[in-house]
Amino acid sequence: MALSTTVSQSKRIKRKAPRGFLKRIFKRQKPHLRLESSCDLLVHLNCLLFIRRLAEESRANACKNKCGIIKDQHVLAAAKVILKKSRG
């Protein structure tokens, strides 16, 4: 019993992946390349992990400055680090 490539079970998925959005971005950036269907989800996974790391880093920065609110300089500093890390 092979399942279809579309989502089979419930129609509603919590935290849906914006597959169309991701595909459009990739196409806009690299029109000469093609993206496979399941790579979509892996890219989404990658984004989630990136944002998770970014958020933790910014939270750490904000706590370091003893701020209760995350400010953009916290985010900026965090982004510098994380972008370097996820450069691949």
Partner 1 sequence: MEGSYIPDSEPTTRTLLRRLLDTEDPHTPRGRQSTRASARRTPLETPFSMRLRSQTKTTTRRHSHGARSIGRLAHIQTSGRLKEQTPRTLLENILLTAPESSMVVPESALKPVPAPQVVQSPSGESSRGSLELQLPELKPPTTLAPGLLLALGKRKQRLRLSEFQQGVDQELPLSPEPHGNAGASSLTSSLNLALATPPVPQSVQRPGLARRPPTRRAVDVGAFLQDLQDTSVALALPDTVLEDTQPFSQPLIGRSPNVRHSLPCPSSSAERTVGRRTQSSGPRLQNNSPGRPDQLLVGKAEEVDALAVGFPNTSNSSSGEDGLQPLQDGVGEEAEDVMEESLRSPELTSITLEFQQARQLEFLEPAQPTSTAVLPPEPLSARRPPRARTAGPRLRQDPYKTGLSHYAKLFSFYTKMPMEKAALEMVEKCLDKYFQHLCDDLEVFAAHAGRKTVRPEDLELLLRRQGLVTDQVSLHVLVERHLPLQYRQLLIPCAFSGNTVFPAQ
Residues in the site for partner 1, rule: CB under 8 A? 1-3, 5, 7-10, 13-18, 21-22, 24-26, 29-30, 32-36, 38-39, 41-52, 54-56, 58-59, 62, 68-72, 74-76, 79, 82-83, 85-88
Give me the phi and psi of 36, to 5 degrees please. Answer: -75, 165
Cβ neighbours of residue 24 under 8 Å, at least 6 residues apart? none
Report the nearest approach of partner 1 to the CB of residue 23 (Å).
11
Structure tokens at 58: 């910014």
